[in-house]
Structure 1
């Protein structure tokens, strides 16, 4: 048995980014925190599905660089393997969401540089979907 609290997350970039709470052996749990103006880089996982439960605040979630969704407290989202996801906090309040990744594989993450306004990386999306 392991016990922790969401307040104990150590964020990758100090005050923001992902912060893991429990790692493996089958699942990762953590919190992603974004201050106003922060983003979480566009990426996908080849084998992992990643789910998010919004705890507080609002943000925009981009899926596959083409579809955007406004998320707020209480929303639950699952990103399937191969589905790119990018969060950006365009509000003036803190955004926090619990994330769950399974199956556990700390090496399964593919960064695809992209922000809204950039050309859609169609080749990277095809690779993520296994179409390339």
Structure 2
């Protein structure tokens, strides 16, 4: 059994990006924050499905070149092998819980996809 507070973990990029609350043995669970205008590299997973539950803010998610506009309370399901790219188009932080299952140690494949130039 594990009980922890999200404040006990650090975001990958300091004050944003993903932070894992649990890695395996059957699934990964974490929290992701994107600042306004910030994005997360397009990628896919060969085995794992990825799910997001939006806690705060707005998200534009591209899944295999289809664009979805999400808001607080939305649930997003991404099947394995589907390329997905996330960007915060809003004026406030975006925050979501994410879940990946079934657990695979290395299952992320990054792809070159940037619909917006920075």
CA RMSD of aligned residues (A): 1.3
Instruction: Classify the secondary structure of the residue corresponding to 1:106.
Output: coil
Query: C-alpha distance in 2, partners of 1:78/1:20?
Result: 18
- Render the CA deviation track for 1:92-128: whole Å, top value 9, x for unaligned: 100001000001112000000211158xxxxxxxxxx
Q: Secondary structure of the equivalent of 1:115?
A: coil
Once the two structures are superposed, residues 69-94 of structure 1 have per-residue CA deviations (whole angstroms, 9 ceiling, x without a partner) of 11101000110000111110111100
Write out per-residue CA displacement over residues 1-27 of structure 1, whole angstroms, 9 at most, x where no aligned residue: 011233444111111111101111111
Q: Unaligned regions of 5+ residues in structure 2, if any?
A: none
| Matched residue count | 117
Aligned counterparts of 2:91 and 2:116: Cα–Cα separation in 1: 21
Find the aligned partners of 2:69 and 2:5 in 1 and give their Cα distance: 27
Q: Distance in 2 between matches of 1:87 and 1:6?
A: 21
CA pair 8-113 structure 1, distance change in 2 beyond 3 A: farther
Provide structure 1 residue ranges, at least 5 long, that are not aligned to the other structure.
119-132
TM-score w.r.t. the length of structure 2 is 0.93
* Rg comparison, structure with higher value: 1
Residue 122 (structure 1) aligns with: none
Which structure has greater strand proportion? 2
Q: How far apart in 2 are the matches of 1:10 and 1:59?
A: 21
Match of 1:33 in 2: 33
- Could you state the TM-score of these two structures normalised by the residue count of structure 1? 0.84
Please list every run of at least 4 consecutive aligned residues from structure 1 whose deviation after the TM superposition is greater than 6 angstroms: none
